[in-house]
Amino acid sequence: MAPRILALTLGEPAGIGPDIAIAAWLRRRELALPPFYLLADPDFLARRAKQIGSHVALAAVEPSAAAATFDRALPVVDIGVNITAEPGRPDDTSAPAALAAIQRAVDDVCAGAAAAVVTNPVAKSVLYRSGFAEPGHTEYLAKLAQDKTGVRAQSVMLLWSPELAVVPVTIHLPLRDALGLLTEDLIVQTCRIVAHDMRNRFGIAQPRLAVAGLNPHAGEHGALGSEDIAIVRPAVERLVAEGIDARGPLPADSMFHQAARATYDVAIAMYHDQALIPIKTLAFEHAVNVTLGLPFVRTSPDHGTAFDIAGTGRADPTSLIAAIRLATRLTSRETQPVAARR
């Protein structure tokens, strides 16, 4: 059994990841947080703590010593990258540091040194300038998992909160490209992973999936586009035939009010903004990004790097704290239903 400690990545060094990691640790006793260690450059973290006026105790350790250290000092596992980025100003050390932290976290959880991975936000534009080839965090984690285990992983991005859980079938793609890549098979594969992980990680015996239509009014019987008849409906029919509780295509504009949300556990959206706009409206400060389909648990705050407030001490750790708590719940052997909207 893996130790009950979480591997927390630094994220983009010039962003608020370091700030909220420190803030979360400072509230560990008040909130009874589970132990975690931060993958970072210890010297950089000490400088950032000083910049935000935080009197935090830091301890450079290996993962095996992190749990015993957690109560008296924030455990920091050195990623081997000397970070020079200043708050709000990414530099040439930003991408190597962010990627090294993610890679080490995956190594640790696959080796049994950590129970789960919690990632702080990265700046995709900074990664792209460094030659990063993946669309985003979610896809990169699937690649690392496949490299470590030899098993092909299809990652699925779930945004979870007590008010709403949503999954976009297509993720970090321009809308024109997303529409071209949306297929019946992709919807079916995505929903299979969602149903599996909602049962096995979230403890929901028979997850209810509400599948959004692609077009306005779910295509209005073909009058507003043929995709819902040709792609979405056949996918739902296949899922139902497999015993998965799925319904749709449903008009997306009427899926997210309170009464509608009470009728399902996860909303399956066809593209990024169709999923993220409603959850960020309802739960911006405490929604959690969860990657499904991996051989380990990964959670993350559902917000970005916030360069404008990095290093000021004003960053709110609420979403990171929610991600830490959810990661612990999802890795518990005594699985209890996590979704609380019924």
In the structure encoding, which two tokens stand for residue 105, read together?
Answer: 């976290």
Three-state secondary-structure class, residue 298:
strand
What domains are defined for the chain?
Answer: 1-153+294-342 (3.40.718.10), 163-285 (3.40.718.10)
pLDDT of residue 338: 46
Give residue 3's pLDDT.
56
Structure confidence at residue 10 (pLDDT): 96
Give dist(CA 294, CA 102) in Å, integer.
14
Distance of alpha carbon 307 from the chain centroid: 19
pTM: 0.89
* pLDDT digits (tens), the chain, 342 positions: 445 899 999 999 999 999 999 999 999 999 999 999 999 999 999 999 999 999 899 999 999 999 999 999 999 999 999 999 999 999 999 999 999 999 999 999 999 999 999 999 999 899 999 998 887 787 888 888 888 887 777 889 999 999 999 999 998 888 888 888 999 999 999 999 999 999 999 999 999 999 999 998 887 888 878 888 999 999 999 999 999 999 999 999 999 999 999 999 999 999 999 999 999 999 988 899 999 999 999 999 988 999 999 999 999 999 999 999 999 999 984 444 444 343
Q: What is the pLDDT of residue 173?
A: 84
- Interior/surface letters 235-274, b for 16+ CB within 10 angstroms, e for the rest: bbebbeeeebebebbbbbeebbeeeebeebbbbbbbbbeb
SS3 57: coil
Measured over the CA atoms of residue 214, residue 218, residue 223 and residue 228, the dihedral's sign is: positive
